[in-house]
Amino acid sequence: MNELKVFWLFLVFLLKETYREPAVIFWAFIFPLIISGVLGLAFGSSKEFSAKAAWVSDSPPPQVAGVTWVICKEKEVIRKLQRGEVLLVAYSEKSGQLILKFDSSNPEANLASNIIENSIHRSAKLENPSVITIPIKTPGSRYIDFLIPGMVAFGIMNACLWGIGSNLIEMRTKKLLIRFYATPFSKNAFFLSFLGIRLLNVVLESLFLIVFSNLVFGVEFTGSWPGLGLLILSGLLCFGGMSILLGSRTAKTQVGYGLINAVSFPMMLCSGIFFSNQGFPEWIQPVVQAFPLSILADSTRSLFLESFSLQDILPQSAILIVIGTVALIFGRYFFRWI
């Protein structure tokens, strides 16, 4: 009986301790609503499936509910697939057959193919309404080719936000920062050490991923290696600066981790890492494309798949460097050791 009472008292104690922290209310209740809203906007704005598909024939494309045709030329198709702008490519043969090409490992592309196939069979508007599906196996056009560059970018973001931001908060919580403050250790040296160790980690992680994906999946890196180096540095500065800003003041892990999640989670979902962000409505595209992770992932993808040179990625690198520098300046200004 007493144990039950202790259990109950402790439970209430924990409950009070937890919910007396205002941040918990936000992270536990409001934040999931925001994320649900964003996801709903991206994937649930209509009850029907919606996909973009490339149409490369001169004849008009068939009407298929849920499929938006992007009329394009043959030479544009690979680029659009690589960038995730379309899920599949379709064209009609002179015989009337409809050819669908897509990466069969991509579930969304499979679903779009099934919808088109079913619709064609039902309507039978084409002279000979048979549909032939051809899986794309060419390196550069598969889901894995889309995924790996995104994962490189995602790795840079994660290494910084969690490796620097959460470390700062933890060290402040453990009163280790105040120990550093009691010495002549400068803020600049302190931040540079963090960025330096993350640079080493990020380079190793990226190389590991590139080599692994090449050996196992045949993912090829076709662009400029110095360009990749510059992108890694720019990404590190960008997310490193953001991490220092995020970890600049709070001494509460719940608040700090919540802040990091608030920044990283939307970018993870909306920056086209695991799936194309083309599914978002047009009006929100400028916002989504302006996310630092979107910029980094798209540039990395261009280096991997479109043979971009060092010069080609200079503008994107410059944007990341500017974001990082501004965040670093504010982070350094707001930073406190206790």
Partner 1 sequence: MVDFAIHTQNLIKDYGKFRALDDVSITVAKGEFVSLLGPNGAGKTSFLEVCEGIREATSGIVQILGKTWKNSEDELRRRIGLSFQDTRFQDRVTVWETLELFGAFFGLPKARILEVMVEVQLSEKQDTYVMNLSGGQRQRLAIATAILHKPELLFLDEPTTGLDPTSRREIWSLLQKLKSQGMTMILTTHYMDEAEALCERIIFMHKGKVYKDGKLKDLVKEAGKQSLEELFLSLTGSALETQN
> Which parts of this chain interact with partner 1 (CB under 8 A)?
174-176, 178-185, 337-338
In whole angstroms, the minimum distance from the beta carbon of 178 to partner 1 comes to: 6
In whole angstroms, the minimum distance from the beta carbon of 322 to partner 1 comes to: 31
Minimum CB distance to partner 1 smaller for 68 or for 186: 186
Minimum CB distance to partner 1 smaller for 31 or for 185: 185
In whole angstroms, the minimum distance from the beta carbon of 337 to partner 1 comes to: 8
Minimum CB distance to partner 1 smaller for 71 or for 189: 189
Residue 169 CB-density burial (10 A; 0-12 exposed, 13-18 middle, 19+ buried): buried
By the 8 A CB rule, do 52 and 86 touch? yes
Distance CA 301, CA 332 (A): 32
Q: Nearest CA to 277 among 304, 297, 263, 260?
A: 297
Minimum CB distance to partner 1 smaller for 125 or for 179: 179
Q: Nearest CA to 267 among 158, 184, 174, 167?
A: 158
Q: How many residues does the chain have?
A: 338
Q: Nearest CA to 160 among 208, 203, 202, 210?
A: 202
In whole angstroms, the minimum distance from the beta carbon of 163 to partner 1 comes to: 14
- In DSSP terms, 98 is beta-bridged to 92, 131
Minimum CB distance to partner 1 smaller for 34 or for 176: 176
Cβ neighbours, 10 Å, residue 152:
28
In whole angstroms, the minimum distance from the beta carbon of 13 to partner 1 comes to: 21
